Structure 1
């Protein structure tokens, strides 16, 4: 059990770092994007920032409950997500980067859910709830991409 608990804490810490990276990229994209067509995407990203930060907070609390510690800025592992585009009017690139981030998050939460199965039902429940949010974001941005593909 102790070994699995450490693995769960490690997976939760990775998820925490992923959420923080998402917040940074969504914030950058919500501010950097230009153009009339970008407004809906900017609004959606701005709203998602609060939700993703909430996920990070919930994960942090669970890590602490399991005896782990949250990493400070020096030890947060980031850099795996697609970075905001240099072209501030490239709305499609932003949508695709959000889809990529949400797909990665869904994959990771499914891994945590499987690892926690039969061992840590509280973590499993938390990650199922967060997974539902991430799937909702993914569906929304896939819908945005369909609309832009028509243009």
Structure 2
């Protein structure tokens, strides 16, 4: 179980997560537009489809930050730009893997802070991000 954290600490962590969800939206939109080569159509469709989930995650986080008395972050985390399809998938996989790890920790922190509804919300976010991670792993196998 996570150590007890304050509501303000949890809000700050949620804002970091929100910035990363914004980053994911921008990354996927940019990659969908920039992806070249023989897998363009498949990767464009994949990246475009991910945007809706990431926006939904951002909405959950922003709403909870406001409900907890905080102010939602408005600046995304830094986007890693590339025009190499394999690198796009590797970057996305690294980001999704990190997100799953952060959200498992955040779920424990939310529960430790008495935010039980948010902890349950993180179960859904973890499931979504795990599916994204697993799909990216499968897509990368074609480059092995």
How high is the TM-score relative to the length of structure 2?
0.90
1:130 maps to 125
SS at match of 1:117: helix
1:9-24 paired onto structure 2 within 5 Å: 9-24=11-26
Judge conservation of contact 2:32–2:45 (CA < 8 Å) in 1.
yes
Structure 1 residues 108, 3: CA separation in 2 closer, same or farther (over 3 Å shift)? closer
1:103 maps to 97
- CA–CA distance in 2 between the matches of 1:112 and 1:131? 10
Structure 2 unaligned blocks of 5 or more = none
Deviation of 1:117 after TM superposition, in Å, equals 2.1
In the comparison of the two structures, how many residue pairs are matched?
A: 140
2:88 maps to 94
What RMSD in Å do the two structures reach over aligned CA positions? 1.6
Judge conservation of contact 2:14–2:65 (CA < 8 Å) in 1.
yes
- CA–CA distance in 1 between the matches of 2:125 and 2:26? 18
Is 1:84 the counterpart of 2:81? The answer is yes
Deviation of 1:84 after TM superposition, in Å, equals 2.1
Which portions of structure 1, spanning 4 or more consecutive aligned residues, are displaced by more than 4 angstroms?
none
Structure with more contact order per residue of length (Cα contacts < 8 Å, sep ≥ 6):
2
Judge conservation of contact 2:21–2:76 (CA < 8 Å) in 1.
no
- CA–CA distance in 2 between the matches of 1:69 and 1:101? 24
Structure 1 unaligned blocks of 5 or more = none
- CA–CA distance in 2 between the matches of 1:21 and 1:84? 11
